[in-house]
Amino acid sequence: MTQSIAGVAKNADRMIFPMAATCGLAVATIYYNQPLLPLMAASFGHSSAGFVATATQLGYALGLILFVPLGDRMDRRHLILLLLLGNIGSLLACSAAPSLRIASLASFALGLTAVTAQIVIPMVTGLTAPDKRGQAVGIMLGGLSAGILLSRTLSGLVGAELGWRVMFQAAAGMDVLLMIVVWRTLPRTGGTTDVSYIRLLASLGHLFAGEPTLRKTALTGFLIFAAFSSFWGSMAALLARPPYLLGSAGAGAFGLLSVAGIYLSPVVGRLADRMGSRPLLFAVGLLLALTSGLLLRAESGIGLLMVVVVLLDVGNRAGLVACQTRVFTLGEQARSRLNAILMSFYFLGGAFGVQAGQASAARWGWPGLALTGAGFAALALLVHAVLPEPGLAPRRQKII
């Protein structure tokens, strides 16, 4: 029998850490291929396999829109299990792909079905006491970030020793274990709406048009992630120049500094609970602007760059915790759809930030990258300060 959310809320604490691990392992599947691209290109006789990674990201972006809203309509545990099953099939298809074209198609399907974390986060948040929701979001995002960090390291090691196909097979095996964890840990919860799937997707537009806080938070998130991504999209190319002359391995090692941000995620979540998401978002914008400005002196030493990496990661993580905590308060019956809209803006902001950062870094070097990141952060502060709050905006529409 389906349990009500109120009936399972008292058990929320025991599921937070297993679900944080689930978020990490689920999102890892879209990053395993990145260190494997040279091996895949050589295997297929191509000079580059970059579109494999692009297809994965495009699939993920579409999955946010097509599947995450279903978390408001059906039993989320059932939905997560179906997505994991589809992800297993996609991973096995990747491992058996006879050509780069088939590998790209399978990777698109992989990304499409890898959105489990974005269903788990609003579900667990809904089962958590209101005064602990920021902390719960922080722990979930800590698990998600750990999955991203460790996926690249694990994939590189397995690929080098056993080949890229074995990595995809191993990932499929980990998905099987995830299905067992989800089955044993998550309660069954009924949907919060019974509207048709078409109306459910159409409601995304209605929610965005009718919720001023959602529009403001989504745009702020777009700019925060653009500031963060502008740095990571250009750092490797700039580190290859004098005075550093570092290769891809040296640039990749900077990613290990993200461990500090993972450790601080629950702390950031507790800050969101205590001080509120609005002041935290203002602090995030200020931190990212000042940190990006430090890149004006990026050539003064590697230590400064290490500080920048840690501060940018903490700022981006705090921004996402604050944004998700904020939009989840807008409607219990639409949390999955609200999250789908927010994360779609985040990913769009990331893509835009990478392109802007690469263009400015190629032309002006570290100063150009510094001004680009600081500019995005300053715009986030402006949006946060200028756009109206819900109390000054028209009354929100009824959520279906």
Q: Decide if pLDDT at 236 tops 50.
A: yes
d(CA 376, CA 309): 17
For residue 285, give both structure tokens. 């914008």
Residue range 84-105: mean pLDDT, rounded: 95
Q: Decide if pLDDT at 8 tops 50.
A: no
pLDDT at 170: 96
Which residues, at least 6 apart from 200, have a Cβ–Cβ distance to it below 8 Å?
69, 70, 72, 73, 193, 337
Residue range 98-127: mean pLDDT, rounded: 89
Query: Each residue of 16-68: pLDDT tens digit?
Result: 888 888 888 998 998 888 778 778 888 998 876 767 877 887 888 889 999 98
Query: Each residue of 145-186: pLDDT tens digit?
Result: 788 777 777 887 888 889 899 999 999 999 999 999 999 888
Domains by residue range for the chain, with CATH: 5-192 (1.20.1250.20), 201-388 (1.20.1250.20)
Residue range 76-96: mean pLDDT, rounded: 95
Q: Provide the residue type at 260 as one letter.
A: A
> Residue 127 in 3-state DSSP?
coil
pLDDT at 394: 42
pLDDT, mean over the chain: 83
Which residues, at least 6 apart from 12, have a Cβ–Cβ distance to it below 8 Å?
124, 127, 128, 129, 136
Model confidence at 252, pLDDT cuts 50, 70, 90, reads: low
What are the angstrom distances between the C-alpha of 325 and each of 111, 226, 269?
A: 25, 20, 9
The lowest-confidence range among 6-20, 55-69, 91-105, 332-346 is 6-20
User: Which is nearest to 6 in space by CA: 191, 192, 273, 189?
Assistant: 189
Burial level of 120, CB count in 10 A (0-12/13-18/19+)? buried
Residue range 333-346: mean pLDDT, rounded: 86
pLDDT at 6: 45
Q: Decide if pLDDT at 90 tops 60.
A: yes
Query: Each residue of 181-222: pLDDT tens digit?
Result: 999 888 777 766 777 889 888 989 988 988 899 999 999 999
pLDDT at 29: 92
